[in-house]
Amino acid sequence: MHIPEKIINKNKEAPWTSIVPVFIFIFWITFTLTYLGVLAYDRLGNSSFDDNTKYSTQELLDRPIAPGVAIYMKTTYSLSQETVVEALERPYDWTGRPFRELLQRFPDREGWQYELKPGQIIFQRTLSTLSPQDATKRHLGIVEGVIAIIIGPPGIYGGVDRLTTIEAQYLPEALRRVAESGWLAWSDEEVLYQILDGMDESNRHYEQDSYDARRIYNDEAF
């Protein structure tokens, strides 16, 4: 008996077609559970301080910190006009602990203020100092008539690091004006001394050449 080829192919595909709905069902269940899990985690992370205005100060201080809440420290350095944002290490150590305990870590007497956002706690303060990066930099200035090493990058006065023994009057006029304005860059004090020594040596050669020229002009014997 001859069986048409189309019927044979149809019978071969039948087992797979019966499994397809099962895969679709499993995919749907997995997607639904994942979506609900993300929503639950997001809600858990944000519920700690969402709509905090409805709580009294006492209630807010006693509320536990939810899992997943990020804690940031924002410090503005007024001299550098720079703001540095850092994430608190091991924020999960604060999970479940009352908010008042975290406030003890950032007290008001040190200038800290807090801001609550969904899933975030931000502590911020302003310091009238240089930023840590600028505090490592130096430039040259003039203090009490001598060259001084000034803390901070050129253009920012962060205090005197130390005074040198170089009198400002020995600097060329243009260089001295730059130093007075606080924009004279500096890398190493020894280099500065070498530059000045080179200038002195050049001046000595110039003075000697001028002296010899005057003697030749006057027809003086050497």
Confidence of residue 185 (pLDDT cuts 50, 70, 90): confident
Q: What is the pLDDT of residue 17?
A: 60
pTM check: above 0.85: no
Q: Report which listed range, 13-22, 44-53, 98-107, 213-222, is most confident.
A: 98-107
Q: What is the pLDDT of residue 196?
A: 64
Topology classification of domain 52-127: Ubiquitin-like (UB roll) (3.10.20)
Give domain limits for the chain. 52-127, 137-203
**CA–CA dist 125, 69 (Å, integer):** 20
Burial (CB count <10 Å: 0-12, 13-18, 19+), residue 27: exposed
Confidence of residue 51 (pLDDT cuts 50, 70, 90): low
**CA–CA dist 201, 177 (Å, integer):** 22
**CA–CA dist 75, 132 (Å, integer):** 11
For residue 70, list its beta bridge partners: 120
**CA–CA dist 84, 102 (Å, integer):** 20
